[in-house]
Chain A
Amino acid sequence: MGAVTVAVVQFGGSNCDRDAVRALDHLDVDAERVWHEDGLPDDPDGIVLPGGFSYGDYLRAGAMAARDPVMAEVRAAAEAGVPVIGICNGAQIGSESGLTPGAFTTNASARFQCEPVHLRVERADTPWTAAYDEGDVIEVPIAHGEGRFEISEDAHADLVADDRVLFRYCDADGNVTDTANPNGSTDNVAGVLGERETVAVLMPHPERATLPDLGRSTDGAGILEAFA
C-alpha cells in the first residue's frame, strides 16, 4: 500500500499548483506537482488541474492547455475512474477539453473579480461533496475574469435532468438569486460534474479556503477531502 499520490498538473502559467499541494498536504494527502511535459505518473490516485493563467489565456482561457498532450492522459485517467478536479483555470481547461459540458467565458461585468462567494451544495453524494449535506452553504473565494458558465439550452436541460450541477452561486442563506451570481453564469452554475461523478470542475478556489492560517473560511477543505 503506497501513500495516496495526487498529481497536480502544472502548465506554463499555472499559479495555484503550490497552493493546491499545500492544501492537500494539510489534509494529509500526498500530492506532487507534475510538469505537463513529463506526463502523468503511473496510476495516479487523483488529478488536480490547478488555477492560473495557462499560456496567458491566449485564444480563450484554458484553450491551449486543453490541447496539451498531457490532457489526453488526463482524459484517459478520468475515463478509467481516477478522480479529476479542475479548479478555476483548471475548470476552463476541463471544459475546453471536453471533460465537462459547457464553457466558461468573460464575466458579465467584463472585469476580473476576486472576492468571497457563497455556494450551495447541490449534490452531497459525490466524492467532492461527501463532507457536506445537500443544500449546505459554503464560503469559498473566486478569482477570475472568465468564469461565466455558458451552455446551450439543450445541454443545460440535460445537465439539470442528469443532476450534474454540483454547486450554484447563492447568498449567505442559500438562496440562488441573480444578485448572488457574481459573473452572470447560466443558472448560477459554479461547478459541474463530468460524465462520471469522479470528474468535476468549479470556478471557485477550494484550496484557498482550506488552510486555517489563511484566516477566512476553511469550507473548501471538504471538496479536497475527496482525495483523502
Chain B
Amino acid sequence: MTAYTATVTVRLKRGVLDPEAETTQQALERLGFELSDLRSADRFEVDLDAADADEAAARADEMAERLLANPTIHDYDVAVAER
C-alpha cells in the first residue's frame, strides 16, 4: 500500500449561475482590481492508502460521484499524488 493524497476539485458547470463568485468579483472590483471574470471551486484533499495511483483515483472519483459533487450542477476532476 502507498500513501496518496487525492485532490478533488468541484466546480460549477459552465453556464450555471454562481452568485457567490459574482459577489466576490464585485468586491474585488470595489477594491480597485480589474478582472474580466472570476470562478470559484471547492477543493477536497483526501489522504488515503491504496495499492496504486489508479486505485486511489478511482476511490476519490467515487467519493465525488456519491457526495462531493452534485452532477446536476457540478463538474469535478481528481488528481492523485504520493504523500
Q: Given A59-B67, A63-B67, A67-B67, does the pair A151, B19 have CB atoms closer than 8 Å?
A: no
Known: A59-B67, A150-B16, A184-B17. Contact between A102 and B23, CB under 8 A? no
Give 1 or 0 for each of A77-113: 1 = CB within 8 Å of chain B CB. 0000000000000000001100001110111111000
A168 at the interface (CB under 8 A from B): no
Q: How far, in whole Å, are A151 and B73 apart by their CA atoms in the complex?
A: 7
Q: A59-B67, A63-B67 are in contact. Are A106 and B20 (CB under 8 A)?
A: yes
Complex CA distance for A107 and B18, rounded to whole angstroms: 9
The reply to whether the CB of A60 lies closer than 8 angstroms to some CB of chain B is yes
Total cross-chain contacts (CB, 8 A):
37
Does B78 touch A at the CB level, under 8 Å? no
Decide yes or no: A110 and B67 within 8 Å by CB, A148-B17, A150-B73 being known contacts.
no
Sorting the interface of chain A by its residue count into under 10, 10 to 19, 20 to 34 or 35 or more gives 20 to 34
Q: Does A152 contact B (CB under 8 A)?
A: yes
- CB-defined contacts of B17 to chain A, threshold 8 Å: 108, 148, 150, 184
Residues of B near A105 (CB, < 8 A) are 16, 73
Known: A103-B73, A105-B73, A150-B73. A59 touches B68 (CB 8 A): yes
Main secondary structure of the interface of A (DSSP, over half): loop
Residues on the B chain within 8 Å of A106, using CB: 18-20
Tell me, yes or no, whether B22 is within 8 Å of chain A by CB: yes
Tell me, rounded to whole Å, the shortest Cβ–Cβ distance linking A220 to chain B: 27
Chain A residues numbered 25-41 whose CB sits less than 8 Å from any CB in chain B: none
Report the nearest A residue to B12, measured CB to CB: A105
Whether the Cβ atoms of A110 and B19 lie closer than 8 Å is: yes
Contact of B2 with A by CB under 8 A? no
- Residues in A with CB closer than 8 Å to B70 are 60, 63, 96, 103
Min CB gap B69→A, angstroms:
9
How many angstroms between the C-alpha atoms of A95 and B70 in the bound complex?
A: 10
B23 touches A110 (CB 8 A): yes
Near A by CB (< 8 A), chain B positions 11-69 give 16-20, 22-23, 66-68
Residue contacts A-B, CB under 8 angstroms, 25 given = A59-B67, A60-B70, A63-B67, A63-B70, A67-B66, A95-B72, A101-B72, A103-B70, A103-B73, A105-B16, A105-B73, A106-B19, A106-B20, A107-B19, A108-B17, A109-B19, A110-B19, A110-B20, A110-B22, A148-B17, A150-B16, A150-B72, A150-B73, A152-B72, A155-B72
Additional 10 contacts, C-beta under 8 A, given A60-B70, A95-B72, A106-B19: A59-B67, A96-B70, A102-B72, A103-B70, A103-B72, A105-B16, A106-B20, A110-B20, A150-B17, A155-B72
